[in-house]
Amino acid sequence: MMLLQILTIPKDDPVAFTFFTGYMAMMAASVFFFFERSRVEGKWQLSLLVSGLITFIAAVHYYYMRDYYLGTGENPTSLRYIDWTLTVPLMCIEFYLLTKAAGAKKSLLLKLIIASVWMLVFGYIGEAFNPEGGSATHSAIYGILSTLGYLYILYAAWMGEVAQLAKDSNTPGIQQTVRILAWFVLVGWAIYPIGYMCMPGGWLNTAFGWDSSNVDLFYNIADVINKIGFGLVVYNLAITDSMRLKAKAA
């Protein structure tokens, strides 16, 4: 007879704790964004739907990553990159939706999606297919290729097409929201390349001996802040603008 193995969360394991907390936090955020769609104007409902999908997809993956980590004690690299490959392009879509009224074209949407997928595919190859023991050359090549996608998104949000469209919108709320999301890309997303460089063969691992033993802890915290934070920034704009329009019509 097979016995069902019950996975428990060790009291002294912050990584396991953040996997569970991240799962619950992002599932709760999904419920919030989905329910709040009915309270905002129609033009913002798609943005909140995307925000809810980002956190819902992440919550599902965190459910499985939690069990994988507890069962093996290893980094759930493949599951994490599957999550990112779905959620990061959705986060980029938010930039398009915010600037669509100012003239954003589908070509911008396509470029942002391609850049995000490019960034993640090469990051995954560099991390998951690094030779045994870690090759600095392999890590550097795919790290540089991955960074090109990140730099494009960063440029678009701060100085490129997204930033210009936000400026052209002549809407302070949209301008402020795009700038806050650009800060998320600059600061919040920075934890991911740092974690990549801590992997065997990575620059921080080779130069300073930093290892990846706690990388999941930082990834989990960053995911919760970035994904829920992204959604809350968009929600703040949506609810503020909706309340303004209702007050104006009253």
CATH of the domain at 165: 1.20.1070.10
Residue 30 lies in a domain: yes
Residue 100 lies in a domain: yes
Residue 6 lies in a domain: no
CB 191 within 8 A of CB 222: yes
The structural domain count of the chain equals 1
Residue 150 lies in a domain: yes
Residue 163 lies in a domain: yes
Residue 1 lies in a domain: no
**pLDDT at res. 136:** 82
Listed range (73-77, 121-125, 130-134, 244-248) with the worst mean pLDDT: 130-134
pLDDT band at 11 (very low <50, low <70, confident <90, very high): confident
Residue 199 predicted with pLDDT over 80: no
CA distances from 84 to 121, 202, 226 (A): 10, 20, 12
Residue 7 lies in a domain: no
Domain boundaries, position 41 = 14-249
Instruction: State the average pLDDT over residues 217-242.
Output: 94
Stated pTM of the model: 0.91
Determine which helix (DSSP H) or strand (DSSP E) holds 13, and give its type and residue range: none
Residue 82 predicted with pLDDT over 50: yes
d(CA 197, CA 175): 33
CB 178 within 8 A of CB 166: yes
Residue 145 predicted with pLDDT over 80: yes
Residue 3 lies in a domain: no
Residue 212 predicted with pLDDT over 80: no
d(CA 85, CA 62): 14
Residue 16 predicted with pLDDT over 50: yes
Residue 19 predicted with pLDDT over 90: yes
